[in-house]
A and B are shown apart, each in its own frame.
Chain A
Amino acid sequence: DAKTTQPPSMDCAEGRAANLPCNHSTISGNEYVYWYRQIHSQGPQYIIHGLKNNETNEMASLIITEDRKSSTLILPHATLRDTAVYYCIVGPSSNTGKLIFGQGTTLQVKP
């Protein structure tokens, strides 16, 4: 079973920041938080992942609470092409560990 809880859907205005929350209260000490997104009929696209510290890359920022029980993915300036299903996944650090997907959040970016 998925170890995360996300709102089923969210809207965001184009050009504004999109903040997608995720709860993972049962996360273990060596488990990472991964974010992926899936645009219709495509494979999931990697966005970002982190363990304890906040992370930022060219796509997004990941804010992880100090107790690691929740996190927020931030898309700083959402565009229409960011409309997708966003998955927050708690996963292992090893190369052989598997990712179990939850239901994700459908983000609709509106003009």
Chain B
Amino acid sequence: GAVVSQHPSRVICKSGTSVKIECRSLDFQATTMFWYRQFPKQSLMLMATSNEGSKATYEQGVEKDKFLINHASLTLSTLTVTSAHPEDSSFYICSARGTGGADYGYTFGSGTRLTVV
């Protein structure tokens, strides 16, 4: 089945630094990937839609200059949290849907727990 690999699974960084999270589709090509954020005891909130070879589309209220998204290939999208602050601490999850093959719906990564200290 379709697999999305997300790395790292956990990261702790100091306030003011930047953190990069990678999302890879392992056995299928994904022209579109999605980035979500989840705070404790809340549902997933869509942050942005990542399009291969073009700029990401951000949801209302999400700062595009703070959450940099790059989708350089059909199998890799990255989310960089710039100048991270404690309020950015959250669970970040990526998702992808293939362009063809078996239709498993949207496949999600295992998530990245970001803690900013």
Binding site for B on A (CB under 8 A): 34, 36, 38, 41-46, 49, 87, 91, 95-96, 98-104
Which 9 A-B pairs give the minimum distances between C-beta atoms?
Answer: A43-B108, A101-B44, A96-B32, A44-B108, A101-B43, A43-B111, A43-B110, A49-B105, A46-B105
Instruction: Write the chain B residue with the least CB distance to A47.
Output: B105
Cβ contact within 8 Å between B105 and A34: yes
Which residues of chain B come closer than 8 Å to A103, judged between CB atoms? 43
Main secondary structure on B side of the interface with A = strand
Say yes or no: B99 contacts A98, CB within 8 Å.
no
Distance in Å from the Cβ of A93 to the closest Cβ of chain B?
10
List of A residues within 8 angstroms of B113 by Cβ: 41
Instruction: Identify 12 residue pairs between A and B in the complex whose beta-carbon atoms are under 8 Å apart, listed by A's number.
Output: A36-B108, A41-B91, A43-B4, A43-B110, A45-B108, A46-B104, A95-B98, A96-B32, A96-B51, A99-B106, A101-B45, A103-B43
Report B87-100 CB contacts with A as 1/0, cut-off 8 Å. 00001010101110
B78 at the interface (CB under 8 A from A): no
Evaluate contact between A43 and B106: CB separation under 8 angstroms.
Answer: no
On whether the beta carbons of B43 and A102 are closer than 8 Å, the reply is: yes
